[in-house]
Amino acid sequence: MIGPFGGITVAVILNGILSHSERRGDPISLTVNFIGPIADAPFELKVRLVRTNRSNQHWFAELAQDSQAAATATVVLATRQDTWMMSEARTPAAPRPEEVESWSAPAKPEWLGRYDFRFIRGMLSLSDQPATDSDTLLWVRDEPRRPLDFLSLAAIGDVFFPRVFVRRQRLGVAGTVSVTTHFHADSSSLARQASRPILAAARGQRFYRGYFDQVAELWSDEGELLASSTQMVYFKD
């Protein structure tokens, strides 16, 4: 919650690579490190193709403001081939999106208005009592609706409130330092999902001496695991 929505930074960096003329394949893995505060101001994004292999491609990216590094990223793209397939992770039980009330988000920060959030559990209600865990489950989609692509999928991995706020049910200072997204979807998965809501689950595993993690999964409304994501987040008491 320091600076702009981290998901847009992630998407801007990924877009710099996916829109490059030398791009080969679709994203498999994306790690973005947040190095310093990002201002609502001009920025420069440099992308470097490290190597193209037969079936995958490796990129490095650096986003700078005022000539100072604000974020770095590594991206792996791949051309997928048909193989044996299996899904082991279990889709969380959830009511259908139309059975869950849409959240009336506050006007600020503005990015909250760019999503339709339907919380099933783990809302940040700022009640007096701390929660018994930091688990959150919700339906979420872009607002206004748009067909899902790799950019919006990567951004949605960052829509969760900081787990420490949810667990303690109080606001504080927190900011992602590193986020890794693994893509399990290909373009046919995205086309099937189209603009319908995604089932998004997140939890923290350990909060320890200034940092906690957040593990998340994003599911299609047909129960297909589209992406998983992990982050390390700085926090202050």
Considering the complex, state which of residue 58 and residue 196 has its C-beta at the smaller distance from its own copies: 58
Residues 6+ apart with CB under 8 A from 122: 131, 133, 134, 135, 136, 137, 138, 166, 202
Total interface residues for its own copies by CB under 8 A: 62
Instruction: Rule CB under 8 A: say whether 15 interacts with its own copies.
Output: no
Using the rule CB under 8 A, which residue among 116, 142, 158, 217 binds its own copies?
217
Instruction: Rule CB under 8 A: say whether 89 interacts with its own copies.
Output: yes
**Least distance CB 79 / its own copies (angstroms):** 8
**Least distance CB 184 / its own copies (angstroms):** 4
Backbone φ and ψ for 40, nearest 5 degrees, come out as -75, 75
Considering the complex, state which of residue 56 and residue 102 has its C-beta at the smaller distance from its own copies: 56
> Which of 229, 173, 177, 182 has the alpha carbon at shortest distance from 203?
229
Instruction: Rule CB under 8 A: say whether 87 interacts with its own copies.
Output: yes
Single-letter amino acid code for the residue at 133:
D
**Least distance CB 217 / its own copies (angstroms):** 7
33 in Cβ contact with 73 (< 8 Å):
yes
**Least distance CB 30 / its own copies (angstroms):** 9
> Which of 37, 20, 18 has the alpha carbon at shortest distance from 28?
18
The C-alpha atoms of residue 179 and residue 31 are separated, in whole angstroms, by 6
Using the rule CB under 8 A, which residue among 15, 33, 65, 91 binds its own copies?
33
Q: What tokens does 190 get?
A: 């995205």
The C-alpha atoms of residue 168 and residue 114 are separated, in whole angstroms, by 26
**Least distance CB 84 / its own copies (angstroms):** 6
**CA torsion angle 33 10 161 136 (round to 10):** -100
- Residue 104, judged by CB atoms within 10 A of its CB (0-12, 13-18, 19+), counts as exposed
- Kindly write out the interface string for residues 161-190 of this chain, putting x where it contacts its own copies by CB under 8 A and - elsewhere: ---x--xx--------xx-x-x-x-x----
* Contacts to its own copies by CB under 8 A: 28-29, 31, 33, 35-36, 50-51, 53, 55-56, 58, 60, 62, 68-69, 72-74, 76, 78, 80-89, 133-134, 164, 167-168, 177-178, 180, 182, 184, 186, 203-211, 213, 215, 217, 225, 228, 230, 232, 234-237
